[in-house]
Structure 1
Amino acid sequence: MGKQNIDRKDIAKSLFLNGNYTQEEIADKVGTTRQTVSRWIKDGAWEELKASITITPAQILSGLNRQIIEINNNINGREGGKRFATVAEADTLAKLASAIKKIEQDVGIADIVDVGIRFTNWLRPLDLEKAKEFNDLLDAFIKDQMR
């Protein structure tokens, strides 16, 4: 595989992950066929990678917090003397709190990808070969973390 093909694949991957392009549009931009782009997407598990970076931990936390607020608003809307959680509500609140704690403690794949991309962009003008090597290692690391 020549250097030009590697560059096309890297550019295609970036367009796929960071843009809203069709496979045909990506193929046109990098000068290859849609079938080649499709193979790169499948072989590189780009769909899974895109999914992991599309939803951030902050977005997940925001959704969980909205659920807690909704339950609390429901409880607070009850008449005086009955403003307490039902068993089901208490159980749900405990599960939501546990999920929030876990997410806050774990470094998400999206965070790893974000930092990795920023580091690669910083390294690329300094040492292109090391940037490519780092990018390959980062891809392998992310795939391993997704198992």
Structure 2
Amino acid sequence: MAKKGRLTNKEREQKKEYAKMLFLQEKNISIKELAERVGVAVNTASEWIKSEKWEGLKRNILLTRQEQLVQMQDELAEINAYIQSQEEGYRFADYKTAQIRNQLIKNIKDLETKALLPEMINALTQFLDFVRVENLDDAQLLADYTDAFIKSKL
């Protein structure tokens, strides 16, 4: 059930982010259930979905990094299997297949290494936001270390 009274801007934004996360991650959540779980009115949840265009986001969510890795590894395995299925003496990639295979290998390596940085930054930012609410001095100290850590990874 929705909380009565006005929310602060911070509370409203937190609830909106939580609602968005639930809406995008849970496949069959109703607006009523979403509103109840977040603690806002059904009209508010409905307004957020429409004004922020969450339906479009739900349809366009990219594959997770792990799903992308699996998909690319499957493609690479299929290319290699195709090459191995050729007659003896012809078991090599033509120019186009070799280019595709090399690009897949590069993309897999990039996903396994470089894609971790944005995820780390996101997690560290959320952690700092949490600490900032609890203790501003600790948050500032951690922010300094976090910045140094991120810069070392660039």
Query: Which structure would you say has the larger RCO, counting Cα contacts within 8 Å and 6 or more residues apart?
Result: 1
Q: Same fold (TM over 0.5)?
A: yes
1:40 matched to 2:13 = no
CA distance in 1: counterparts of 2:82 and 2:126, whole angstroms: 43
2:76 aligned residue = 68
Q: CA deviation at 1:38?
A: 3.5
Residues 65 and 111 of structure 2 are in contact (CA less than 8 Å); yes or no, is this contact kept in structure 1?
Answer: yes
CA distance in 2: counterparts of 1:32 and 1:109, whole angstroms: 37
Residues 83 and 91 of structure 2 are in contact (CA less than 8 Å); yes or no, is this contact kept in structure 1?
Answer: yes
1:82 matched to 2:90 = yes
Q: CA deviation at 1:45?
A: 6.4
CA distance in 2: counterparts of 1:93 and 1:99, whole angstroms: 10
Q: How many pairs does the alignment contain?
A: 125
Q: Secondary structure at the match of 2:88?
A: coil
Q: CA deviation at 1:95?
A: 1.7
CA 1:36–1:109: 2 relative to 1, 3 Å? farther
CA distance in 2: counterparts of 1:18 and 1:64, whole angstroms: 23
CA distance in 2: counterparts of 1:43 and 1:116, whole angstroms: 29
Residues 34 and 45 of structure 2 are in contact (CA less than 8 Å); yes or no, is this contact kept in structure 1?
Answer: yes
Deviation sequence 1:43-100 (CA, Å, 0-9, x none): 5565649825xx3212211111110100110111112111111222112112212222
Which consecutive aligned stretches of 4+ in structure 1 deviate over 6 angstroms post-superposition? Answer: none
1:2 matched to 2:7 = yes
Supply the AA of the counterpart residue of 1:105.
Answer: T
Gaps of 5+ in 2: 1-5, 137-154
What aligned pairs does 1:108-119 form with structure 2 within 5 A after superposition?
111-112=119-120, 115=123, 119=127
Gaps of 5+ in 1: 131-147
Q: CA deviation at 1:112?
A: 4.6
1:92 matched to 2:97 = no
TM-score, normalisation: structure 2: 0.57
Q: Which protein shows a greater Rg?
A: 2
2:20 to 13, 21, 37: 13
RMSD: 3.7
1:25 matched to 2:25 = no
